Structure 1
Amino acid sequence: MTTNDPADVTTTSEQPARTGERDLGQLVVVAVLVVLGLYMIISTWDVVAGFEGGDPLGPRFFALFVGIGLLVLAALYTVSILRGERGEEEAGEDVDLEGGAHWPTVVQLVALVALNVLLIDFLGWAITGALLFAGGAWIIGSRTPVRDLAIGAVLSVGSWYAFYVGLGVPLPPGVLDGIL
């Protein structure tokens, strides 16, 4: 049922996606994308083809693909910025968009990653990966350490095998050398 009652009309205070003004600060992101893209393309030529003809594309293909993709993305983003388009902030249910970072959490997460870097050679990825997942979950508010350790163990052992068997990239086994 429709009515012509003005009280039934909903209004929003959202700004349109196109504001007409240019945010030149976003061009810094474009510059970073261009530098990364050029670096990847230039450094790709230093890659030595170590495969015995088993890979038809060679080891340079993926790096070139990503480097060119970054340059294309930078070009498209530049056009978008110069046209005055701006991305709107996503309104979260429980996120204060005006608030700053919670620095104790950031410091704890950085310390956890640094501890992981220090212990990974001795303990190995399977153990430190599980501790990294469980510790990160605890820092951001989870209070179920047994479940977090179990999930972390499954993810870290699974990723260890995915890298070692699937990709041929050995991650440090640490104290579990010979067991994994």
Structure 2
Amino acid sequence: MNTNGVSRRQWLREHSELGICVLLAALGVVVLVDAATIATDFTQRGPVGPKTVPLIVGALLLVVSALLVRDVLRGGRGQAEAGEDVDLDAPSDWRTVLLLTGAFLANAVLINVIGFPLSGMILFWGSAYALGSRNPVRDPLISAVLSVGTYVVFNHLLGVPLPGGPLMGVL
């Protein structure tokens, strides 16, 4: 018991947000330690090296953790989100989960066989179908535009090679 008659367990329960503070601080330390191990033995282009962003992110994680600790110890409490309109008594929609999983796995299995444009189209169309869209003309067209557009942006504009499959010569 504390001098106030509050047990340590009760105090921790009332300040449970401190767990998030510990998680943020630990993540910040991991990012900083990992950033310190980045090799800089190559030619740097410009003033910003490969360590800059991880060091900033790690330091900001530590700062946010410290500010959150201060807020919690001063009586700040996380508020439950009132805007969610979720029925917690409703059963899980396993059909949708399984359809989305199937579309994702089909993409993963087919991407190297038929290429990203076609496997991405299957992924986008399958996701739209799983989430309730049933338009037989619009859904495949939007899926094709999204998939081919993503392929062109990554492959040609960003220089990130994606498997083209049979459409390799066309795109």
Query: Taking structure 2 as the reference length, what is the TM-score of the superposition?
Result: 0.67
1:106 is the counterpart of 2:126: no
**What SS does the corresponding residue of 2:14 show, helix, strand or coil?**
coil
Alignment-derived partner of residue 158 in structure 1: 149
Contact 1:133 1:152 in 2 (8 A): yes
Report matched runs for 1:26-41 at 5 Å.
30=21, 32-41=23-32
Of 157-166 and 74-83, the range deviating more from structure 2: 74-83
Structure 1: tracts of 5 or more residues without a match: 1-20
Are 2:169 and 1:169 aligned? Answer: no
The 1:108–1:33 alpha-carbon spacing in structure 2 relative to 1, beyond 3 Å, is farther
Say which of 9, 14, 17 aligns to 1:22: 14
- The corresponding residue for 2:78 is 86
The structural deviation recorded for 1:143 is 0.8
Asked whether the equivalents of residues 103 and 122 of structure 2 are also in contact (C-alpha less than 8 Å), the reply is no
Q: Does 1:146 align with 2:137?
A: yes
Residue 123 of structure 1 is matched in structure 2 by: 114
Distance apart, 1:116 and its partner CA: 1.3
Give the superposition deviation at 1:27.
5.4
* CA-CA distance at 1:127 after TM superposition: 1.7
What value does the CA root-mean-square deviation take over the aligned residues? 3.2
- Aligned equivalents of 1:80, 1:110: Cα separation in 2: 41
Distance change >3 Å, CA 62–CA 174, structure 1 → 2: farther
Matched, 1:61 2:38: no
1:140/1:75 Cα in 2 relative to 1: closer, same or farther (>3 Å)?
farther
| Native 8 Å contact 1:134 1:145 kept in 2 | no
Distance 1:159 1:49 in 2: 32
User: What CA deviation, in whole Å up to 9, does each residue of 1:101-146 have, x standing for no partner?
Assistant: 3223223222321221111112222222222111111101111143
Superposition pairs of residues 37-52 of structure 1, within 5 angstroms: 37-48=28-39, 52=43
Greater alpha carbon shift after TM alignment, 133-142 vs 81-90: 81-90
Question: Cα 1:104–1:172, aligned 2, differ >3 Å: closer, same or farther?
Answer: same
